[in-house]
Amino acid sequence: MEYRRLGKSGLQISALSLGSWLTFGKQIGNNTADELMSIAYDNGVNFFDNAEIYARGRSEIVMGEILKKKNWDRDSYIISSKVFFGYLGKDARPTQKGLHRKHVVEACEQALKRLQLDYLDLYFCHRPDKQTPIEETVWTMHNLIQQGKILYWGTSEWSAQEIMEAHMVAQRYSLIGPTMEQPQYNMLERNKVEVEYAQIYKTVGLGTTIWSPLATGVLTGKYNDSFPGDTRLSILGMEWLKDAALAEANLSRARKLTTFAKELGVSLPVLAIAWCLKNEHVSTVILGASKSAQLQENFKALELKELLTADVMEKIENILGNKPILSQY
Ligand code: NDP
């Protein structure tokens, strides 16, 4: 395993990590979740990603049970949770969601209880909250760090401007600002990581824990010509994700990439994950898996560094044809 600094912090995070969205407490059984965490940990993964909303809190309960059973040294792994949507999702009352002090503090307590932990290593604001001043959230996160309930805090899908506002507040009052952002990043979704945050990697040393490296499975090639029935996109209620993911522009790129990966002698998921790892601004690529074999396969991405030469990267760029433009000004 390779370890990278989480932005400008000194925290060493594994370049590949494991997430639990849609899988833990929902799509897969607890034994499979246990197997996935063991495979990950044994391969050097030290970061497991979670959120209050995942399976309405059940994902944290499942992960907490597994951690308790494994009894791995607490200082050998990093656990996250995220606050914003509330664990009740669309049934949450106004005080049970958002980034105001009340919910952030209560959600942290609830996550710790579900995970059976004394502290969270990383705590993310899952989305920006237009109803709460950023100043209130920054103070709350800083205080949680002072209380030892969280170690680092960050954002997810915030704009560069919102992240900078949080840093300005932190600087004004000598508080601890956000260390990392969790954006979507993959061959099909590039703008935030490659363009929008370009400046703030330099100015505030932003770290990134990127999600959906396989574009929710499209970049495995398995949807190229048919619709397999045993995937997340066939789960009832996931129609919104299916419609967005299986847009023709995505499938057409996936088909061409499948052929190219074959020429290189690798599988498309392995190539797609290695492509994410190639970006030096990515601190960790959060993997998702519903089966152990998928996770085992995806770890091969770590061995692909030499294969992704400038020439290969250019060929991929030509296939994708979606390179975001970085303004010169
Ligand atoms: P991916 O885009 O990599 O999708 C993972 C899914 O693709 C798996 O669950 C599996 O689904 C399928 N898959 C993975 N590997 C293979 C393979 N080798 N062959 C075939 N199918 C494969 O990542 P996720 O969307 O799961 O995101 C990763 C993590 O990021 C999440 O668990 C979560 O922790 C985090 N996240 C954060 C968000 C945020 O807003 N901050 C939003 C979304 C995710 P299946 O078998 O069902 O097809």
Question: Quick check: helix, strand or coil at residue 107?
Answer: helix
What pLDDT score does 229 carry? 87
Tell me the mean pLDDT in the region 164-191.
98
User: How many A from CA of 215 to the centre of ligand 1?
Assistant: 7
Class of domain 11-182: alpha beta
| Contact 108 CB / ligand 1 (< 6 Å) | no
Q: Is 262 left (phi over 0), alpha (psi -120 to 50) or beta?
A: alpha
Condensed to tens digits (0 to 9), the pLDDT of residues 13-62 reads 999 999 999 999 999 999 999 999 999 999 999 999 999 999 999 999 99
Q: Residue 328: pLDDT band by 50, 70, 90 thresholds? A: low
Tell me the mean pLDDT in the region 59-70.
98
What pLDDT score does 329 carry? 57
What pLDDT score does 305 carry? 82
- CA 24 from chain centre, in angstroms, equals 15
Residue 317 makes CB contacts below 8 A (sequence gap 6+) with: 323
Determine which residue's CA is closest to atom 24 belonging to ligand 1: 212
Mean pLDDT of the chain: 97
Nearest 5°: phi and psi at 237? 100, -5
| Contact 215 CB / ligand 1 (< 6 Å) | yes
Out of 3, 41, 54, 329, the active site residue is 54
Q: Ligand 1 pocket check: which of 209, 287, 304 to mutate, most ligand atoms within 8 Å of Cβ?
A: 287
Condensed to tens digits (0 to 9), the pLDDT of residues 214-245 reads 999 999 999 999 999 899 999 999 999 999 99
Please give the share of the chain, as a percent, with pLDDT higher than 70. Answer: 99
